[in-house]
A and B are shown apart, each in its own frame.
Chain A
Amino acid sequence: MANTVDLVWLVVALPLAGFLANGWISFFRPQAKRAVSVIGVGVLVLAFVVAVAVVRAAAGVEPAWFFVVKLWTWMPAGNLVIDVAAQVDRLSSVMLLVVTGVGMLIHVFSVGYMREDPGYARYFAYLNLFVFFMLVLVVGASFPVMFVGWEGVGLCSYLLIGFWFTEKANADAGKKAFIMNRIGDFGFLVAMFMIFDATGSLSFREVFESAPVHFAVGGTTITLITLALFLGCAGKSAQIPLYTWLPDAMAGPTPVSALIHAATMVTAGVYLVARSNILFAMAPLSSAVVAGVGALTALFAATIALKQWDIKKVLAYSTVSQLGYMFLGVGVGAYTSGLFHVVTHAFFKALLFLGSGSVIYALHHAYHHTHAHEDAQDMRNMGGLAKYMPWTAGLMWVATLAIAGVPGFSGFFSKDEILARTFARGAEAPYFYVLWGMGVVAALLTAFYMTRLMLYTFHGPNRTGERERAHLHEAPWVMTGPLVVLGAGSLFAGVLNLPEVLPFSGRLEHWLEPVTEAGAVYLPEAHLAHGTEWALLGLATLIAAAGMAGAWRILKPGSLVPARVAPAEAGWRLLLSRKYYVDEIYGALIVRPLVWVSDRVLWKVVDALVIDGAAVNGSARTTQLVGWIGSRLQTGRVGAYVLLFVVGVLWLLRAVAGQGS
């Protein structure tokens, strides 16, 4: 069996091969789109198949299977030996399947979505490269190898956000994403240094196994390490205060938003916390911080999502908010629940993004036909689309019900579980009740803004325009096909981990137990009485219903007008639609002062004036001055020279005569 598991390298290598092939094509045969599609999608399908085989083979080995497949030694330096090795265990296998599976669907969708783009080959090359790095991140058996994937996905995100690089805004968004991520990576790096300093190793297995020896529970070292790690997570997974790049990242093609900025990359932070669960469990303070930041982000982003008009921006803030839930989960020690939400979210959010991609595609084509220059992403230009694109509308409703937490749908179970676990921790400290309350409010808002999105997009009168309406139609099958699969996932993924009060409960929980039990020693999962659990389930249902019904009652899609004639916002609506001006605040407080200081102080004053001017050229001028003073003796008159000469000789004679006597 182990031989099949060894094939995990193939899962990772296939997308890389796809990247190389498509990269080559993009330079030399950019028009060979058929070959690009076959290679780009083919490697993903193969990777998915191999991944399934690997996981199946590994799962046959009981109990608590755990494989490390070493490929070669990467950095041998004294007692630091870092291998390029893949770790296949229960945690990475879940992610392996999600990444290759969802990735495959999104690749298929892209074939339709990007069909007419001149950069088709380049797009697939980047996308393959992204999957490669994401897989490295997932299966890496040590912190540095994971970091390769960690930064690599950031790079691909950068490249894909700025895919249409001729627009300055897109390139800017890519850069912003990369730099924000780098701030997080700074934390990740520092955490690695501290871990190596403390444990003498960086491989997951050694660090986690020896953690109880090296760290004291709640000690300063472990707290600092986990906080630094969490900074990395906040950057990658768009948490406060580093979340602002994610909404901007919507500048990239929509399938990219689905794959990178919803389903996979942004969940890497959650994955990292779950992976390092023992470290976080040993640092209660850090865990509390993780949970707090998660809850705060969930609520904060949900409020912003209420007033966005760009359909993708709504989804982006929704993603930030859902990521907050995941961190709330892993922060309260419910690692399985956090990861469960990663999985269900991958389905329904990918579906939402791809669905919105379908809508944008339709609007874009309609406007293209009539040569209108309208915003194809603004919901004020949509409305009533259910009539034209029934499949998309239906499937997006499935996803909406899932994310809103309607019972039976996947999101209901995962979100409820996180909230339930948080509530259960409330018995320890009231702090967790506060977090739970924030989570509940955020859930209400989620139901509200998602219903708003659906309402404005698919229902009510159509606002696209008279002439354009004739060109609105459903996307081709290559695009709706993946939606159907994701829809099924959104519906049924809940059964992976049903609550304890239901039959067949906790499958994922048992599956992940070998990984999470290390942390559970220090941070045991709190359990609730069945009565309380039923009550919470009921409350969750009520919240979802209230949010959706509220939106349905309050919002009047009929009163909307197209974006170009829409009135300006004011008051709190303006504050929300401008995202609390956080970008502006960052710009004014950090970015501009930094550039100003670098330019006006460091360069033009310190470098040019002080060092080069005063010290360097100053010393040169001093030398010149001394020389000039010396040169004053040089009158050029022979007489003066002779006079000096004679005086000198007389003085010498006197000295000699004085010595003689």
Chain B
Amino acid sequence: MSAFLQAIGYPAWALHTLILLPVVGALVLMVQPVERHVKWTALGFALAELIVSLGLWYGFELGTASMQFEASHEWMHQWGVTYHVGVDGISLMMVLLTTFTMPLAVLGSFSYIKKKERGFYSLLLVLTSGMLGVFIALDLFVFYVFWEIMLIPMYFIIGIWGGERRLYAAIKFFIFTFVGSLLMLVAILTVYAVVGTGTGTYSFDYRHLVTNAWMVSRWGPWLFAAFFLAFAIKVPMFPFHTWLPDAHVEAPTAGSVILAGILLKMGTYGFLRFALPLFPAVAMSPVVSTVVVTLSVIGIVYGALVAMVQPDFKKLIAYSSVSHLGFVMLGIWALSLQSIEGAVLMMINHGISTGALFFLAGMLYERRHTREIAEFGGIARVVPGLAAVLTVVSLSSIGLPGTNGFVGEFLVLVGSFGTQPVATVIATTGVIFAAAYMLWAIQRILFGKLDNPANEKLPDLSLRELVVLAPLLAGIIWIGVYPGPILRRVEPAAAALVDLVRRPAQPQLLPLTPQPRVNE
């Protein structure tokens, strides 16, 4: 396989293609004459994207933490901006998660989106580019550009195709994210300037900045705080999470799926890729560490408890995301090899399981035009297929062993115990609450008496819906039983990260005079 990839020159064009293909797709959709065919074209592009990205999986070289499939292109030379992209084990998984989710999101929208299809699918494709760019950027300027690019399509997706309170939700989503990202921009520019002054090389290059970021010295806490806010809002960590339930509830199915499946991962990815490597000393200082771990644990328990009492199914899933992402944050800050690997795996799992839950919520909504749990009840008898899938997905969401959820949660917790024992034990109670809210919810939806006459004639899953759900189910079982291939790809990157953050090699003093070029 790898020889074939070499033969077609894959490593050189893979990432460029991944970014450009959806943009081309969006343009094609714009000029496509027949609006009815738009969704099929979009699906085609999304699938092509998936196929292209599969090469990354097969061509990925195991056992090394260095960036692979690197490609760069001069952009704004005088400011040191280079279009520089590449993937390591962690970003590889995020890229694949994105390309895996997008075709499903497109296919899952076929019957949900009934107005302005052309615009909707174009935006989805543009969004794909934006998200992929965030995951593969190796230049902080490029990263920031993509970070903002993906914000805009999502804003419109919620604002145009959303539910009744879509405008409120869209604006809330936008402002929350934007507040964080502007501060992050300031921080990026500061790091750029300080490092530029210190080394004599003004460049936004990731490695250059990571290597020399120690120069920011006493600015460190402030700059870290800016990054932290941007990412914490995106994750979202308690108490920055309130945009999430609104955005999730109002967004159309595909929007919720992408939001939960991929967008939230940008926050945690940002921590792994930028916040920790740039400011290891600050991030791991006792105060910051305590605060973050505490917030994560609060998020886990709080999200679960609040999820338990939600009358709205989508809102319940949204709060469960707060809880799940709390585990990821705990894993990241516990900073052991297992916990980081677990965190990455959990990011993937959450994408799959919560994505599937949102698809199912959307399917229920399409049938009954309500998200209220109380409106359902006893429908397992009329829609056994949907009931079975919902049960399996819920079990994956609560981390039943044998499903993907368990592997991630277990690795996070077992890895975190060594460094954060108390937090881990409290976090582990999350598994109890998770069972409580999820089982209670599916019980109120699926089991009991079928007492609402509106539910008597619900159709079971259609073939298209099955096609959407099947890959997710396969992922749930596959990762649950055999996560080895993923873990092996993530491990070197995770190990390198732990290493980098554990022992910041550079002195913590700001040099008084500009230094000659150090490297780059």
Contact = CB atoms under 8 A, between A and B. Distances in A.
Establish whether A and B are touching in the complex (CB under 8 Å).
Answer: yes
B440 interface: yes
A407 to B, nearest CB: 44
A577 to B, nearest CB: 27
A78 B493 CA distance: 12
B512 to A, nearest CB: 35
Nearest to B482: A72
A602 B410 contact: no
Interface string B433-459: 001100110010011111000000000
A58 B519 CA distance: 63
Interface in B467-481: 481
A80 B440 CA distance: 34
B52 interface: no
Contacts of B415: 77, 80
B401 A80 contact: no
A603 B306 contact: yes
A595 interface: yes
Given A74-B484, A615-B239, A189 B378 contact: no
B70 to A, nearest CB: 26
Contacts of A584: none
B395 interface: yes
Contact of A175 (B241, B306, B413, B440): B440
Interface string A587-621: 00000001101110011001100011001100010
Nearest to B448: A168
Interface stretch (A106-114, A193-201, A266-274, A395-403): A193-201
A194 B417 contact: yes
A542 interface: no
Interface in A77-126: 77-80, 84
Interface stretch (A179-187, A278-286, A445-453, A495-503): A179-187
B342 interface: yes
B221 interface: no
B contact face: mostly helix, strand, loop, or mixed: helix
A627 B381 CA distance: 57
B213 interface: no
A147 interface: yes
A559 interface: no
B440 A72 contact: no
A409 interface: no
B482 A179 contact: no
| B172, B414, B415, B443 interface centre (most CB from chain A within 10 Å) | B414
B126 interface: no
Interface stretch (A148-156, A320-328, A415-423): A148-156
Interface residues of A, number: 55
B491 to A, nearest CB: 7
B345 to A, nearest CB: 9
A13 to B, nearest CB: 13
A174 B443 CA distance: 10
A558 to B, nearest CB: 40
A189 B428 contact: yes
B495 A78 contact: yes
A165 B440 CA distance: 13
Contacts of B449: 166-168
Contacts of B384: 27
A144 interface: yes
A190 B487 contact: no
Interface of A: 27, 72-80, 84, 144, 147-148, 150-152, 155, 158, 162, 165-168, 171-172, 174-175, 178-179, 182-183, 185-186, 189-190, 192-194, 196-197, 594-595, 597-599, 602-603, 606-607, 611-612, 615-616, 620
Given A144-B410, A602-B306, A616-B172, 16 more contacts: A74-B407, A74-B482, A75-B407, A75-B483, A76-B491, A79-B337, A144-B401, A151-B402, A162-B447, A166-B378, A166-B450, A174-B443, A179-B432, A190-B424, A192-B414, A196-B414
19 contacts: A27-B388, A78-B341, A79-B337, A80-B415, A147-B401, A150-B401, A165-B380, A166-B449, A168-B447, A171-B447, A178-B435, A182-B432, A595-B309, A598-B308, A598-B309, A602-B306, A606-B302, A607-B306, A616-B243
The 4 closest A-B pairs by CB, nearest first: A193-B417, A78-B337, A599-B309, A171-B447
